[in-house]
Structure 1
Amino acid sequence: MAIGDVVPGCSVVFREWRPHWVNVWRIKSTTVEHVGRNRVMIQHPKKGTAVRKSLTAKRIEIVTRGGRDLVAEWREVPVLR
């Protein structure tokens, strides 16, 4: 999949680091946009806000209704020279 792809109806799990604690977000149905190399934009349907997350984070899961793992498809491995 290419940068700029938008996939609606995804199930997302990610961590959000706050001072003194960690929030774990589980969103059952949301829209995810591939915005850059190893970066996605996740829409919060209830809040009306968007969060930009890295696909190389320790804990991030993005699964479509059909069962496709978007993190595995969109993550780019760095090339060492």
Structure 2
Amino acid sequence: MAYGDVVSGCSVFFREWLPHWVNVQRRKSVAVEHVGRNRVLIHLPKKGLAVRKSLTAKTIEIVTRDGRDLVAEWREPPGRD
């Protein structure tokens, strides 16, 4: 998939590092946009904002409705130009 692709209806699981604690997020139906090398934007519709996450993070899962693992598809190996 190319940069700029948007997939709707994804289930995501990630951690947010906030001052003084870590917040674990699990969302069931969000849009995910591939914005750059190993980077995605997770659009949270109820909050009206987007969270930028790295695909190389220790804890991140993005699964589509049909069961595809977008982290595995969109992650690029290190050292590739």
Pairwise same-fold verdict (TM > 0.5): yes
Query: 1:45 deviation in Å?
Result: 1.6
Q: Which residue of 2 aligns with 1:11?
A: 11
Distance (Å, rounded) in 1 between the aligned partners of 2:73 and 2:51: 20
Q: Which residue of 2 aligns with 1:43?
A: 43
Q: RMSD of the alignment, in Å?
A: 1.0
Distance (Å, rounded) in 1 between the aligned partners of 2:49 and 2:3: 21
Q: Displaced runs of 4+ in structure 1, greater than 4 A?
A: none
Q: Which residue of 1 aligns with 2:63?
A: 63
1:79 aligns with 2:79: yes
Q: Which runs of 5+ in 1 are unaligned?
A: none
Q: Which runs of 5+ in 2 are unaligned?
A: none
State the percentage of identical aligned residues: 79
TM-score, normalization: structure 1? 0.95
Equivalent position amino acid for 1:75 in 2 = R
